[in-house]
Amino acid sequence: MFLINCPFCGERDQNEFSSGGEAHIVRPKQPTELSDDQWAEFLFMRKNIKGVQFERWNHSHGCRKWFNVVRDTSNDKIHSVYKMGEKPPVK
Protein backbone atom coordinates (compact mmCIF):
# COMPACT_ATOMS: atom_id res chain seq x y z
CA MET A 1 0.00 0.00 0.00
CA PHE A 2 1.32 3.40 -0.92
CA LEU A 3 0.30 6.91 -1.91
CA ILE A 4 0.08 8.03 -5.52
CA ASN A 5 0.38 11.67 -6.49
CA CYS A 6 -2.38 12.05 -9.08
CA PRO A 7 -1.35 14.85 -11.46
CA PHE A 8 -4.93 16.17 -11.34
CA CYS A 9 -6.01 15.61 -7.71
CA GLY A 10 -2.84 15.39 -5.65
CA GLU A 11 -1.68 12.70 -3.27
CA ARG A 12 -4.20 9.94 -2.60
CA ASP A 13 -4.27 6.39 -1.29
CA GLN A 14 -3.36 3.70 -3.85
CA ASN A 15 -6.71 2.10 -3.03
CA GLU A 16 -8.43 4.84 -5.08
CA PHE A 17 -6.51 3.90 -8.22
CA SER A 18 -6.56 1.02 -10.71
CA SER A 19 -3.39 -0.31 -12.20
CA GLY A 20 -3.28 -0.40 -15.99
CA GLY A 21 -0.05 -2.37 -16.17
CA GLU A 22 3.05 -1.70 -18.25
CA ALA A 23 3.04 1.63 -20.11
CA HIS A 24 4.16 2.56 -23.61
CA ILE A 25 3.03 -0.63 -25.32
CA VAL A 26 2.03 0.88 -28.64
CA ARG A 27 -1.05 -0.50 -30.34
CA PRO A 28 -0.06 -1.75 -33.80
CA LYS A 29 -0.79 0.80 -36.52
CA GLN A 30 -1.83 -1.81 -39.09
CA PRO A 31 -3.41 -4.67 -37.14
CA THR A 32 -4.47 -6.57 -40.26
CA GLU A 33 -0.84 -7.08 -41.24
CA LEU A 34 0.28 -8.55 -37.94
CA SER A 35 1.42 -12.15 -37.59
CA ASP A 36 0.18 -14.30 -34.69
CA ASP A 37 3.57 -13.90 -33.01
CA GLN A 38 3.32 -10.13 -33.16
CA TRP A 39 -0.21 -10.21 -31.76
CA ALA A 40 0.91 -12.43 -28.90
CA GLU A 41 3.74 -10.00 -28.19
CA PHE A 42 1.34 -7.04 -28.10
CA LEU A 43 -1.45 -8.71 -26.15
CA PHE A 44 0.29 -10.97 -23.66
CA MET A 45 4.06 -10.63 -23.35
CA ARG A 46 5.19 -8.34 -20.55
CA LYS A 47 8.56 -7.25 -19.21
CA ASN A 48 7.24 -7.67 -15.64
CA ILE A 49 10.30 -5.85 -14.37
CA LYS A 50 11.68 -6.20 -10.85
CA GLY A 51 12.96 -2.67 -10.43
CA VAL A 52 12.02 0.62 -12.06
CA GLN A 53 8.99 0.16 -14.27
CA PHE A 54 6.88 2.60 -16.34
CA GLU A 55 3.19 2.02 -15.69
CA ARG A 56 -0.28 3.31 -16.44
CA TRP A 57 -2.65 4.11 -13.59
CA ASN A 58 -6.23 5.31 -13.54
CA HIS A 59 -7.69 7.39 -10.71
CA SER A 60 -10.83 5.25 -10.88
CA HIS A 61 -12.33 6.44 -7.58
CA GLY A 62 -11.37 10.07 -8.17
CA CYS A 63 -11.04 12.09 -11.36
CA ARG A 64 -11.10 8.89 -13.48
CA LYS A 65 -8.21 10.16 -15.61
CA TRP A 66 -5.31 8.04 -16.85
CA PHE A 67 -1.68 8.96 -16.27
CA ASN A 68 1.76 7.37 -16.04
CA VAL A 69 3.81 6.44 -13.00
CA VAL A 70 7.47 5.46 -12.69
CA ARG A 71 7.65 2.99 -9.80
CA ASP A 72 10.23 0.64 -8.38
CA THR A 73 8.39 -2.68 -8.18
CA SER A 74 10.91 -4.14 -5.74
CA ASN A 75 9.94 -1.71 -2.97
CA ASP A 76 6.85 0.11 -4.34
CA LYS A 77 8.65 3.48 -4.22
CA ILE A 78 7.31 5.95 -6.77
CA HIS A 79 9.97 7.95 -8.62
CA SER A 80 7.78 10.23 -10.70
CA VAL A 81 4.36 10.79 -12.19
CA TYR A 82 3.61 12.28 -15.62
CA LYS A 83 0.53 12.86 -17.75
CA MET A 84 -0.48 10.81 -20.77
CA GLY A 85 1.24 12.05 -23.89
CA GLU A 86 4.09 13.65 -21.96
CA LYS A 87 7.61 12.50 -22.58
CA PRO A 88 8.61 9.84 -20.06
CA PRO A 89 11.42 10.91 -17.73
CA VAL A 90 14.81 9.27 -18.16
CA LYS A 91 15.43 6.92 -15.22
Partner 1 sequence: MKNKYSIFSLIKNAFSDHENWQQAWGDPEPKKEYDAVIVGGGGHGLATAYYLAKKHNLTNIAVVEKGWIGGGNTGRNTTIIRSNYLWDASAGLYDHALKIWENLSQELNYNVMFSQRGVMNLAHNLQDVRDLKRRTHANRLNGIDAVWLETDEVKKFCPIINTSQNIRYPVLGGTLQRRAGTARHDAVAWGYARGANEMGVDIIQNCEVKGIKRNGDKVEGLETTKGFIKTKKIGVVAAGHSSVIANMAGIKLPLESKPLQALVSEPVKPIIDTVVMSNAVHAYISQSDKGELVIGAGTDSYVSYSQRGSHNIVEDTLKAILELYPIFSRMKMLRQWGGIVDICPDASPIISKTNIKGLYFNCGWGTGGFKATPGSGDLFAHTIANDEPHKLNAAFNLNRFVSGDLVDEHGAAAVAH
- Residue ranges in contact with partner 1 by CB under 8 A: 1, 14-15, 18-19, 21-22, 36-37, 39-41, 43-50, 53, 55, 73-76
What CA–CA distance (Å, rounded) separates 59 from 54?
16
In angstroms, give the least distance from the CB of 61 to partner 1. 12
In angstroms, give the least distance from the CB of 80 to partner 1. 16
In angstroms, give the least distance from the CB of 44 to partner 1. 4
Report the alpha-carbon angle 88-42-23, nearest 5: 20
Distances (CA, A) of 44 to 10, 47, 48: 32, 10, 11
